[in-house]
Amino acid sequence: MPEFDRFAPPHLDDPYPLYARLREGPPFFADAFGVWVVTRRADVKAVLSDPARFSSEFLIRTPMSPAPGVAETLATGHPEVFALLNQDPPEHTRVRALVAAAFSPRRVRALTPRVERLAGELVDAIAADGAADLIRSLALPLPLLVICELIGIPRADAPRVRGWIEQLKVLTSFGASDAEQVAAAHGSVEFERYLAALIAQRRAHGRDDLLTDVLRGDLTDLEIISLLITLIFGGHETTTNLIGNALLAALARPEGLPDDPDDVIERTLRADPPVQGTFRRTVADTELGGAPIPAGAQLYAALGAANHDPDGSAEPHLAFGRGIHYCVGAQLARVEARIALRTLATRLPGLRAADGFRVSYPANLLHRGPIRLAATWPVPSVH
């Protein structure tokens, strides 16, 4: 399927027609990426539902083709260990139980008024301007501040955390220059040291936050560092993109933002999911959807393609995955998106996309969301 090997703009603006063509065939090996691509809903479900055949155990933060100096720099920090997203049972089961308890509905409910306050502050800060990029002013900062708050990272440190996450992204994507990679490796080490210090602080003085809950378990500090990075990485840009994609869908309607955004959010999760796919590795030679796949092969389960499979249109969407790795932050992400859209609808009546605004997406296979969203709204004149 050479078409997938050219999976780059302009396909990125609208990958769904390509996915539809790919679903006509069985899983195939994409030479450019070195992965087997799985697009049919039944096959994606089979992959996510069977961790004994399709393993999650591979390192995520390790660069794919590191520049000279990167490995040496990373070696001065904490080694990356498996934590949750990249663990199989029985290790996964133990960590998941601990994290699920810390992500209890009680803690998410308790966070709701805080999310409302943060969203209110962010929207009030732009209200008098009559125009803004809603990604930069709301969709990006809100999930970042929320995940910091949930974990127990001081708000003043949020901008630094954001910078470190950007640097981790450099390490795990294609195309960065050698200098950028080395700078990112230094950032990654700094981030690990920051988290190690936070853990030490919290071990000395517990508080009512997720980190304190996690410390009650039997995880090592290295495992906790990896887990915190997974939570911050997994809970931030994903939710930014859900807010962005849902806003795009809502603003495309003639009536604009709805008062109750739940329906738009759920439709967005199916039609334009923020996480377009996830990876697994075959444990042994296997067969999937009619294709023989060798042991040790990497698979890309294309959630965005599976969600559009007409064969599964009556079934739940796969935007948050399925099975044992089902997104632990799904409830929180929905709460954040609902509050973001509702706050805009109530505080900025008449909000619409700016004249001439054209959406564009980053060149990223995995994460999908608008780079910016220029919007305008009427501002009452002050006398």
93 vs 177 by CB, closer to ligand HEM: 93
Q: Are 247 and 139 in contact (CB under 8 A)?
A: yes
Interaction of residue 274 with ligand HEM, rule CB under 6 A:
yes
* Binds ligand HEM by CB under 6 A, chosen from 27, 51, 235, 244: 235
Query: CB under 6 A: which stretch of 8-16, 131-139, 313-321, 355-363 binds ligand HEM?
Result: 313-321
Q: Does 147 bind ligand HEM (CB under 6 A)?
A: yes
For residues 19 to 58, the per-residue mask of contacts with ligand HEM, x marking binding by CB under 6 A and - elsewhere, is: -----------------------------x-------x--
Cα separations (Å) of 108 from 111, 115, 146, 154, 335?
5, 10, 10, 18, 8
Give the interface size with ligand HEM as a residue count (CB under 6 A): 27
Binding segment for ligand HEM (CB under 6 A), chosen from 32-40, 153-161, 318-326, 371-379, is 318-326
CB of 325 to ligand HEM, least distance (A): 3
The residue from 214, 319, 365, 375 that contacts ligand HEM (CB under 6 A) is 319
Query: Which is closer to ligand HEM, CB of 44 or CB of 67?
Result: 44
The Cα 311–Cα 281 span in angstroms is: 25
CB 188 within 8 A of CB 61: yes
Rounded Cα distance, 369 and 246, in Å: 9
Among 321, 352, 359, 372, binds ligand HEM (CB under 6 A): 321
- Strand, coil or helix: 15: coil
Strands 298-301 and 35-38: parallel
Q: How far apart are CA 94 and CA 205, in angstroms?
A: 25
Residue 278 as a binder of ligand HEM (CB under 6 A): the answer is yes
Written as one string, the DSSP assignment of 224-283 is HHHHHHHHHHHHHHHHHHHHHHHHHHHHTSTT-S-SSTHHHHHHHHHHS-SB--EEEEES
298 within 8 A of 35, measured Cβ to Cβ? yes
Smallest separation (angstroms) from ligand HEM to the CB of 336: 7
- Binding segment for ligand HEM (CB under 6 A), chosen from 25-33, 114-122, 170-178, 233-241, is 233-241
Residue 290 region, left (φ>0) first, then alpha (ψ -120 to 50), else beta?
A: left
Binding mask 53-92 for ligand HEM (x = CB under 6 A): ---x---------------------------xx-------
Looking at residue 317, what DSSP letter applies?
A: P
Q: By CB under 6 A, what part of segment 95-134 binds ligand HEM?
A: 96
Of 283, 302, 234, 284, nearest in space to 35 by CA: 302
Q: Is 327 in the site for ligand HEM (CB under 6 A)?
A: yes
Closest Cα to residue 269, out of 310, 238, 231?
Answer: 238
From 380, 376, 381, select the one nearest 130 (Cα to Cα). Answer: 376
Nearer to ligand HEM, 86 or 343 (CB): 86
Q: Should residue 268 be labelled a site residue for ligand HEM when binding is judged by CB under 6 A? A: no
**Binding of residue 341 to ligand HEM (CB under 6 A):** no
Instruction: For residues 32 and 178, give the distance between their C-alpha atoms in angstroms, rounded to a whole number.
Output: 21
Identified binder of ligand HEM from the candidate list 230, 268, 282, 307, rule CB under 6 A: 230
- Binds ligand HEM (CB under 6 A): choice among 115, 170, 333, 365: 333
DSSP secondary-structure letter at 68?
T
Based on the shown chain and the rule CB under 6 A, indicate whether residue 307 belongs to the binding site for ligand HEM.
no
Residue 325 contacts ligand HEM per CB under 6 A = yes
Query: H or E stretch including 374?
Result: strand 374-376
Beta-ladder partners of 300? 37, 279
Residue number, 182 or 305, with CB nearest to ligand HEM: 305
Map residues 242-261 to x or -, x wherever contact with ligand HEM holds by CB under 6 A.
x-------------------
Tokens of 178: 């050698």
Task: Tell which residue, 76, 59, 67, has the closest CA to residue 188.
Answer: 76
Q: How far is the CB of 201 from ligand HEM (least distance, A)?
A: 21
329 lies in the site for ligand HEM, by CB under 6 A: yes
* Site residues, ligand HEM (CB under 6 A): 48, 56, 84-85, 96, 147, 230-231, 234-235, 238-239, 242, 273-275, 278, 303, 319-321, 325, 327-329, 332-333
